[in-house]
Chain A
Amino acid sequence: MRARIPWLGLAVLFAAFLAWEAVSRGFAGLGDYVPPPSRMLGMLGQILVSGELLFHAQATLARFAGAYALAAVVAVSAGVAFGSSRVLYSFVEPLVELLRPMPSPATIPIAILFLGIGNEMKIAVTAYACTWPILLNTLDGVRGVDRVLRQTAATFGVGPWRTLFQVVIPAASPQIVTGLRVSLAIALILVTTSEMVVADDGLGFFILDLQRSFRIPEMYAAILALAVLGYLLNQAFLTIDGWVMAWHRLGTRKEVV
């Protein structure tokens, strides 16, 4: 499938950057708070070369990976278990319904209380936040597996474990992947937020520190770097999704090739 380059969109974006550049340079004093894009990009290069950016980015990435992996394993397993057993889910359903609407950053003070101010706290808070979309989507996906498919497995005399791993989970996988994709964004948000609350490294800390030290162009550059990181993570996800879930994407297309 050939990707169409959105020329018009890119042109608009470019025009916006030019306007920004002009306004920022044109008004005296404004450039200190809203530097022109050219200076931002220059600063991006500078913090990159100085090693600061990579140092903090790597810290963030490590926490992100740990938390996301933890959440994925726990939430998918729990989702499958709860989705498969109505009885089991009835035990935890009230708790789930109570906790899920609570905004995750509210758990940061609790986490600090119990886990201190180090990596454990940040990973715990992030994993907690990621768990919800993954759990709920997995739950939905497993419950939503078509009855005919389950009956098909039954008529072939397929045992419960094989049915679970070879039929139910693959059938639920589009929904599970949706949960994983949503959590990706949430994970990055929570990691950087917790780094802003208390940390001595990481992009969240870096951005805040740059603001406090009044290194404003560098601050914007770091924010831009964070955005790029988010974009790259998303692209990586989509690439893997493309390999693993091609059958679903192609199978649910409306038009035939």
Chain B
Amino acid sequence: MLEVQDLHKAFQPLSGGAPILALGDVSFRVDAGRFIAIVGPSGCGKSTLLLCVAGLMRPTTGTILLGGQPVTGPPENLILVFQEYNQSLMAWRTVLRNVRFGLEGRGRPRVEIDAEARRAIELVGLTGFERHYPWELSGGMQQRVAIARALARRPAVLLMDEPFGSLDALTRNELEDTLLAVWAEVGATILFVTHDIEEAIYLADRVYVLSGRPSRVLEEVEVALPRPRHQLKTREDSRFIAYRHQIYELISRETSRRGPALP
């Protein structure tokens, strides 16, 4: 479904000097309908990777194939959900109008758009809040709106850039479960970037561990944990703990070897 080949991304700093190589040589494949997580040390270029896959940033070299077609700009059936929900949502629009945003301007009848939007709002558990404004909602609810907005488009692929990173731990757990329920219902392919190792293992079928900058895939960890996942049972599973050890050790070694990664 999604294939990333030899992705390199270099940035030219404004102050001059040598280019910063964010992505060194990233390659991986994602099969349709799977939930894939990406973890890595801070500043390793996880967001850069997602922006490239989403067609919002041009890689320096390398190819991204979506359904066999190269990605040159934002693909139709792929939506990126940002970490900063506050800056991503439109403060002048109600929840319903925010969720409708991605469906507008495409010639679809208003009735249909509204129905799709309401369905998405229901999926994330925000029924009843359609006429609220984003600033009237908590952080977790705002991120749900952003997710609903993406879901309304029924994308084949959902990219998520540390979507729960700005939320408190309890809300994070809540939203993890909401996301899993949504995924079970919708069946999209999800590429989920996080710095939280446990979250990655909890959510995914497979976890890619990235190295520090310039990043490449250090390890591919298949997560053979039963679904549906459970916040307590799954996290206490001995396999969960084994994966956690494995990935944690990989990343610590990376961080100590390279020193603190600069953003």
Interface residues of A (CB under 8 A from B): 146, 148-149, 151-152, 154-159, 162, 166-167, 170-171, 173, 247-248, 250-252
Contacts and interface: CB of A to CB of B under 8 A. Distances in A.
Contact of B74 (A149, A155, A166, A248): A155
A92 B73 CA distance: 32
B92 A248 contact: yes
A167 B101 CA distance: 10
Contact of A151 (B76, B80, B91): B80
B80 A170 contact: no
A155 B54 contact: yes
A173 B84 CA distance: 21
Interface in B195-227: none
B11 to A, nearest CB: 15
A188 B153 CA distance: 50
Main secondary structure of the interface of A (DSSP, over half): helix
Contacts of A155: 54, 56, 74, 78-80
B15 interface: no
B84 A148 contact: yes
Given A157-B76, A158-B105, A148 B133 contact: no
Given A151-B56, A151-B82, A247-B133, A156 B153 contact: yes
Nearest to B102: A156
Given A155-B80, A156-B79, A156-B153, A148 B88 contact: yes
B192 to A, nearest CB: 16
Nearest to A152: B88
Contact of A250 (B54, B87, B88, B133): B133
- By CB atoms of chain B within 10 A, which of A148, A155, A159, A252 has the most? A155
A31 B153 CA distance: 76
> Per DSSP, are chain B's interface residues mostly helix, strand or loop, or mixed?
loop
Interface string B51-91: 10010100000000000000000101011101010011011
A171 B87 CA distance: 10
Contacts of A152: 82, 88
Given A152-B88, A252-B135, 5 more contacts: A146-B84, A156-B79, A170-B92, A247-B133, A248-B91
A148 B153 contact: no
B140 interface: no
Interface of B: 51, 54, 56, 74, 76, 78-80, 82, 84, 87-88, 90-92, 101-102, 104-105, 133-135, 153
A158 B209 CA distance: 33
Contacts of A250: 133, 135
A162 B105 contact: yes
Contacts of B88: 148-149, 152
B76 A148 contact: no
A159 B106 CA distance: 11
Given A148-B84, A151-B56, A251 B79 contact: no
Contacts of A247: 91-92, 133, 135
Contacts of A158: 105
A152 B83 CA distance: 11
Contacts of A252: 135
8 contacts: A149-B88, A149-B90, A155-B56, A155-B79, A157-B76, A170-B90, A170-B92, A247-B92
Nearest to B94: A247
Which 7 A/B pairs are nearest by Cβ-Cβ distance?
A: A251-B135, A148-B87, A156-B102, A146-B87, A155-B80, A247-B92, A152-B88
Given A247-B92, A248-B92, A250-B135, A154 B56 contact: yes
A149 B133 contact: no
A159 B90 CA distance: 17
A167 B79 CA distance: 17
Contacts of A171: 90, 92
A173 B105 CA distance: 22
Contacts of B76: 157
A186 to B, nearest CB: 27
A210 B4 CA distance: 81
B19 to A, nearest CB: 21
